Chains A and B, each alone.
Chain A
């Protein structure tokens, strides 16, 4: 498969096409694991999940099982969840608090900093065996955090996290600044799957143009809640290309925003607290930035597989490619720490979240249906080979309703695969 032929760009006719084998081909799936997932900063967890010494969570990131832990000294650690002895996965719980982890197979025991502290039959091993770096839990090569979001990188030679995030930091700041001190995850996580290629969700997350055709039943419900159908008329939005494949769509909202934009469906009792939060944002950031933080929606895709939706709720959605036609999806809700105990605020945030998003929402099931229908359609790629992303291509603006975001994503995808092939050649 020639990577350079996956994308067809005709600037004269303003046409941009992606060959459907890009979502299907098994060799490409292996190539993107190597060229993209093994070299990018990948989301692993949130600092609030491991706030106390000994706290840990287990995650699967790009096919590897990891333990993300705060050790007894308070440092954040991330290890391959694999016993150096015979390779068994060690930690089976999804989360917990532990001083040590013991492999069930031969009882090699590690402290929460990953150090081997117990061997079965230590007298039968040579001196220094226990201290050998190969016999410790193996840390991921790079681990860093930005504003509470923890990332790993499997490439020890990768650029720094902030350099990688590039222009996305401006938008992460607009999101995290909503909290006075810090954001925390809300309890509960949605874990589901789609029988579709992972890139379809990256496209979908910054595809505003699909909202009205695909999700009328969501807007019907919001209309019933608010007394009138929300309108997109007069709203504006822009797409931005943030470097390294990251994109954002920033836009006016046709509905409310839990942080500080009231909508009628939330009732008069919500109004005063939202106005107080808005006043606090103005005090902290001035009128202009406060308005932007409170009133504008942001759909952010951090290349390759992290989606942050800052609109009707604030959510972190991470995809794990499983096969060319299958991904696992995990979604968490975020809230400013000061909302804890404020039942009205948290309830508004959660209700707003699940009315739209998730396996039982009024919108996500239809996204899943659409993405799975695309994947089905790709089976006919010999007769119907191309996906089209030409919308808005010849125009001078980057509108939220166009497809420049997807074009940017796909060019990054192609270039990384090409660079990887050139490096290997």
Chain B
């Protein structure tokens, strides 16, 4: 893919499915490398405006590049107790659409269902992802990933120790 070509939806879908596969495989270092240097990873609270700024409205997760790196480092340690041993997860990504496409950013919307099995329980997280993608050196990169939970609350799921 060259910088001036617009990726097709099939290429975008492959990218999102690949991202999900890395997360299912707990290959978080590889997953982290999908992001740009100025990236954000956001999970708003389910009952707030999902587009409110994380600088003024409480979120569940509002990582910048530093915190995202630290999150990945944390999840690779045995002392990230909530995820040691790692949960088993399976992510479904569907309904992928390119909702806006400018010369430098591609806004992509998709829906997700993430199944997480741990300690004999299965929790389901669902909602929509809104990715802002850019093309860097011929490859798609994530400038921002906002995961908007579709549940009313994290009940009974509790923690969001995985990346949805």
Contacts and interface: CB of A to CB of B under 8 A. Distances in A.
Q: Do A and B bind each other?
A: yes
A225 B73 CA distance: 13
B41 to A, nearest CB: 10
B103 interface: no
B148 to A, nearest CB: 13
Interface residues of B, number: 40
B58 A189 contact: yes
Nearest to A364: B159
Contact of A188 (B48, B70, B155): B48
Contacts of B44: 188
Interface string A214-228: 101100110011000
Contacts of B48: 187-189
B98 interface: no
Given A187-B58, A191-B154, A365-B161, A217 B77 contact: yes
B71 interface: yes
Nearest to A221: B70
A214 B77 CA distance: 13
Contacts of A191: 45-47, 152-155
A186 B156 contact: no
Contacts of B79: 216-217
Interface residues of A, number: 42
Q: Which of B58, B60, B81 has the largest count of A CB atoms less than 10 A from its CB? A: B58
A15 interface: no
B58 A192 contact: no
The SS class assigned to the A binding surface is helix
Contact of A362 (B54, B74, B154): B74
B117 interface: no
A347 B53 CA distance: 10
B60 A359 contact: yes
Nearest to A355: B67
Given A187-B52, A187-B58, A220 B81 contact: no
Given A192-B159, A195-B158, A362 B119 contact: no
Nearest to B43: A360
A94 B153 CA distance: 12
Interface string B136-160: 0000000000000000111111111
A369 interface: yes
Given A217-B77, A368-B158, A187 B62 contact: no
A351 interface: yes
Contact of B71 (A190, A358, A362): A362
Given A359-B60, A362-B71, A372 B161 contact: no
B96 interface: no
B66 A188 contact: no
Interface in A170-221: 186-195, 214, 216-217, 220-221
Interface in B56-101: 56-62, 66-67, 70-71, 73-74, 77, 79-83
B38 interface: no
Given A194-B158, A217-B77, A350-B57, 16 more contacts: A186-B58, A187-B56, A187-B58, A188-B52, A191-B47, A191-B155, A192-B155, A220-B70, A328-B155, A346-B55, A350-B55, A350-B62, A353-B58, A360-B159, A369-B82, A369-B161
10 closest A-B pairs (Cβ-Cβ)? A188-B58, A365-B82, A191-B153, A360-B61, A365-B159, A365-B161, A192-B154, A347-B55, A193-B155, A217-B74
Interface of A: 94, 186-195, 214, 216-217, 220-221, 224-225, 326, 328, 332-333, 343, 346-347, 350-351, 353-355, 358-360, 362, 364-366, 368-370, 372, 376
Interface of B: 43-48, 52, 54-62, 66-67, 70-71, 73-74, 77, 79-83, 119, 121, 152-161
26 contacts: A187-B58, A188-B48, A188-B52, A188-B59, A191-B46, A191-B153, A193-B157, A194-B158, A195-B156, A217-B77, A220-B73, A221-B67, A221-B74, A224-B66, A350-B56, A350-B58, A350-B59, A351-B62, A354-B58, A358-B60, A359-B161, A360-B160, A362-B71, A365-B81, A368-B82, A369-B159
